[in-house]
Structure 1
Amino acid sequence: MLNICGVDVSKNVLDAFVASSGTYARFANDADGIAALAVLCRAEDVELVVMEATGGQERMAYLLLWQAGIGCAVVNAAAVRYHARSKGLLEKTDRIDAAVIASFAAMKDVQAGDPPDVDQLHLKALVTRLSQITCDLTVQKQRLSSCDDAEARASLDEVISLLKRQARHIEGEIASVIDDDPLWAKLAEAFSSIKGVAGRTIAILMAELPEIGLISNKAVSKLAGLAPLADDSGKRKGQRHIRGGRERVRSILYVISWIACKYDNSLAAFHRRLIEAGKPKMVARIAVAHKILVRLNAKAREARMEMQIAT
């Protein structure tokens, strides 16, 4: 069994618990604190550091620990909390949470994740920022539409112009990052062959779903949150719903599903059959999004194979 260090991550601190020795320590969630955590892990012969996904607050620790040669994994926070309840732990402190993370990782035989890819992280940061700007633009335009004061409208126009310039700049940066990577460029070419799939969709797929083309259709559907999950018990056959997964990928595929139906007769016919069978419109749209994802996964698999043959 691996010697595991569970780390409870917050904005400013990292609480670490080494399972084998029961050692507990707190570090600052910055470069110096993470370096000190790495020293502790080496002293305790830690083989794996496990932390919860905390909305990005764990990224620096994950990156720097890997760079220090210490394998890391990120686990689902809700799953860890359920594990704590199953053990009868109703108390919740940072120290307890770190110990529970280590216990959960041991029970589930968690293995080290993939070493962080700096280019992948950079692309994801750009895509995230573009999404933020797009949301800000929507808000400012809504405010402009309901504003009658000339001076206030001028201020809103100025902000909208700035956001549009930033959006164009980041779109250009994203395109450059993708074009500079031979594999990403090949994948982008393959994805764009599907009608309705354009620049932003491609960027989100690259940033949020790097596993595309490497795993099965069922697995990629689960990752994107587009796989209907069973809800059966005994004789009861519950209605299947999608949930979880990578929200940004699911959302963009749902958005483009309608566009794709306009240009692809087979998708349009598939959507029409579902509607005629009595399926709700949203269910039909999700089914189309799922079919698009399966096609994208197949395109990515072919593109990766061609790259391997070429090299």
Structure 2
Amino acid sequence: MTKIICGVDVSKSRLDAAVSSPKAFASFANDASGIAALASFCRRHGVELAVMEATGGFERKAFLLLWEEGVASALVNPRNVRCFAEAMGAMEKTDPIDAAMIARFAIAKDIKPMEPPTKAQQRLKALVARLRQVTDDLTVQKQRRSAAADDETLASLDEVIALLKRQSKRLEGEIASMIDDDPLWAKLAETFRSIKGVAGRTVARLMADLPEIGVFDNKAVSKLVGLAPLADDSGRRSGQRHIRGGRASVRSVLFLVAEIARRFDDGLAALHRRLTEAGKKKMVVRVALAHKLLVRLNAKARDARAEFANAT
């Protein structure tokens, strides 16, 4: 039996909701009271799942509060929904049409509820994201200082740099404390650090942006990160495989760490040497190294989770 789905088109200030069957449409403010009204709308129409696109953060409050209101929710990729809409011949694009198309997409793909992150996971993710912002800002300010000439500008930049360094140190301390205080996270952190080249910031990024590590199999986690080369074959033609999509924040740190780790790891070094000698492009080599590192981290995380479960 087909589920009753509510597709929710999210914008900064508004939530447009369309129920699949019986068809119903309503619009709500994207704030706490509006989300509560959306939850009532869903209950009134017997909605089993509310589905919305991941739209750069505007969906976060609705996703979390709907779960608190007892309405199961899920997030989907907006690019996939748009491709689905075009494949279904829906070239028009309005908020009601988009909401209805999200519902149709969810039914066609049999989208399942996506459990919300815990409060601790939310806080860790926010701290890691803020640390990344502070680090980027610090890099920019240091570059500006290297180009500055007058004393007044240098003094101003030094003040900003000192502030950013203090914030960076504080954030690193908060993140480390959170990981150390959680027994499972502490176990995973110890396991990850057993690979030479994997440091505290990499561990924090994995914990915050890839909580599924060690839960999914290698193929699934590779697709999740965007390090699984996708086939492009047709008939006798064997096309070149490319990576696409995935979690860029995790992928970027794995590129950097794999390059460091290969200096100490015989397996990664041998893979790098073999691909380089075969004349593979630099990006192909980088992806292969990052993929191998991810698979190894995932295997270690899987073992650590099993060991932790057996010990508790």
- Report TM bin, short chain: over 0.9
State the partner residue of 1:4. Answer: 5
Deviation at 1:285, TM superposition (A): 2.3
State the partner residue of 2:159. Answer: 158
State the partner residue of 1:288. Answer: 289
Task: Kindly indicate whether the alpha-carbon contact (under 8 Å) linking 1:84 and 1:90 is maintained by their aligned counterparts in 2.
Answer: yes
Greater alpha carbon shift after TM alignment, 127-136 vs 265-274: 265-274
Does the alignment pair 1:27 with 2:28?
yes
Task: Kindly indicate whether the alpha-carbon contact (under 8 Å) linking 1:27 and 1:34 is maintained by their aligned counterparts in 2.
Answer: yes
State the partner residue of 2:63. Answer: 62
Q: Which amino acid aligns with 1:291?
A: K
Give the 5 Å matches for 1:1-311. 1-311=2-312
Distance in 2, Cα, partners of 1:107 & 1:302? 35
What CA deviation, in whole Å up to 9, does each residue of 1:211-262 have, x standing for no partner?
1111111111111111111111222111111121110111001011121012
Distance in 1, Cα, partners of 2:286 & 2:207? 23
Q: Which amino acid aligns with 2:37?
A: A
Q: Which amino acid aligns with 1:204?
A: R
Distance in 2, Cα, partners of 1:215 & 1:100? 29
What CA deviation, in whole Å up to 9, does each residue of 1:18-60 have, x standing for no partner?
1112221111111111111111111111110000010111111
Task: Kindly indicate whether the alpha-carbon contact (under 8 Å) linking 1:47 and 1:71 is maintained by their aligned counterparts in 2.
Answer: yes
Q: Which amino acid aligns with 1:65?
A: L
Q: How many residues align?
A: 311
Deviation at 1:280, TM superposition (A): 2.1
- Structure 2: give runs of 5+ residues left out of the alignment: none
Distance in 1, Cα, partners of 2:246 & 2:237? 26
Distance in 2, Cα, partners of 1:308 & 1:109? 31
Task: Kindly indicate whether the alpha-carbon contact (under 8 Å) linking 1:80 and 1:101 is maintained by their aligned counterparts in 2.
Answer: yes
- Structure 1: give runs of 5+ residues left out of the alignment: none
Q: Secondary structure at the match of 1:262?
A: coil
Deviation at 1:162, TM superposition (A): 0.8
Distance in 2, Cα, partners of 1:227 & 1:88? 30
Identical-pair percentage: 66
Task: Kindly indicate whether the alpha-carbon contact (under 8 Å) linking 1:260 and 1:267 is maintained by their aligned counterparts in 2.
Answer: yes
**Displacement over 4 Å in runs of 4+:** none
Q: Which amino acid aligns with 1:216?
A: D
Distance in 2, Cα, partners of 1:61 & 1:298? 34
Task: Kindly indicate whether the alpha-carbon contact (under 8 Å) linking 1:4 and 1:48 is maintained by their aligned counterparts in 2.
Answer: yes
Distance in 1, Cα, partners of 2:86 & 2:208? 34
Q: Secondary structure at the match of 1:283?
A: helix
Deviation at 1:197, TM superposition (A): 0.4
TM-score norm. by structure 2 comes to 0.97
Q: Secondary structure at the match of 1:263?
A: coil
Distance in 1, Cα, partners of 2:223 & 2:15? 31
What CA deviation, in whole Å up to 9, does each residue of 1:47-90 have, x standing for no partner?
10000010111111111111111100101101111121122212
Q: Secondary structure at the match of 2:56?
A: coil
Deviation at 1:281, TM superposition (A): 2.6
What CA deviation, in whole Å up to 9, does each residue of 1:155-180 have, x standing for no partner?
11111111111111111111111111
Distance in 2, Cα, partners of 1:131 & 1:60? 22
Q: Which amino acid aligns with 1:57?
A: F
- Alpha-carbon RMSD across the aligned residues, in angstroms, is 1.1
Task: Kindly indicate whether the alpha-carbon contact (under 8 Å) linking 1:66 and 1:116 is maintained by their aligned counterparts in 2.
Answer: no
Deviation at 1:120, TM superposition (A): 1.0
Task: Kindly indicate whether the alpha-carbon contact (under 8 Å) linking 1:213 and 1:301 is maintained by their aligned counterparts in 2.
Answer: yes
